[in-house]
Amino acid sequence: MKKKKWWLRFGLGLLSALLIIDIIASFYFYNLAIERNVKDFLIGNSDLEVSAEAMDVFLAGDWREWVDNEDFEHWEMESYDGLKLQGYFLEAEEPTNKTVVFAHGYLGRARDMGLYGQYYYEELGYNIFTADMRGHGQSEGDYIGFGWHDRLDYVDWIDEVLEIQGLESEIVLHGVSMGAATMLMVSGEELPDNVKAVVADSPYTSVYDMFEYQMNRMFHLPAFPLLPSTSLVTNIKAGYSLTEASALDQVEKSQIPILYIHGDNDTFVPTSMTKELLEHTNSKAEMFTFENAGHGEAFVTHEDRYLEIMNGFLNKYMK
* 231-264 per-position pLDDT tens digit: 999 999 999 999 999 999 999 999 999 999 999 9
Residues 113/72, Cβ–Cβ less than 8 Å = no
For the chain, what are the domain ranges?
A: 34-206+245-317
DSSP H helical segments within 34-86, as ranges?
52-60, 62-69
Q: What pLDDT sits at residue 314?
A: 98
Between CA 203 and CA 211, with CA 205 as vertex, the angle to 5 degrees is 95
| Phi then psi dihedrals of residue 224, to 5 deg | -95, 135
List, in sequence order, every beta strand (DSSP E) within 64-112: 73-78, 84-90, 98-103
| Phi then psi dihedrals of residue 186, to 5 deg | -60, -40
What's the predicted TM-score (pTM) here? Answer: 0.94
How far apart CA 191 and CA 140 sit, in angstroms, is 25
Position with higher pLDDT, 25 vs 6: 25
Candidates 88, 58, 87; CA nearest to 71 is 88
For residues 141-160, give the mean pLDDT. Answer: 98
Position with higher pLDDT, 78 vs 59: 78
Residues 6+ apart with CB under 8 A from 56: none
Q: What pLDDT sits at residue 221?
A: 85
Question: 173 to each of 39, 104, 279, how far by Cα in Å?
Answer: 27, 11, 20
Q: What pLDDT sits at residue 18?
A: 56
Q: Is the domain covering 34-206+245-317 a CATH 3.10.450.40 domain?
A: no
Stated as kind and residue range, the H or E segment containing 262 is: strand 258-263
Q: Residue 56, SS3?
A: helix
225 prior amide bond cis, ω within 30? yes
Candidates 67, 61, 249; CA nearest to 151 is 249
Residues 6+ apart with CB under 8 A from 21: none
How far apart CA 109 and CA 130 sit, in angstroms, is 9
Position with higher pLDDT, 158 vs 167: 158
| pLDDT at residue 49 greater than cutoff 80 | no
In what order do the strands lie in the sheet containing 84-90?
Answer: 73-78, 84-90, 127-132, 98-103, 170-176, 195-201, 258-263, 285-290
pLDDT class of 24 with cuts at 50, 70, 90: confident
How far apart CA 291 and CA 313 sit, in angstroms, is 20
For residues 162-191, give the mean pLDDT. Answer: 97
Residues 6+ apart with CB under 8 A from 308: none
Stated as kind and residue range, the H or E segment containing 10 is: helix 2-33
* Residue-wise pLDDT tens digits, 188-218: 999 999 999 999 999 999 999 999 999 998 8
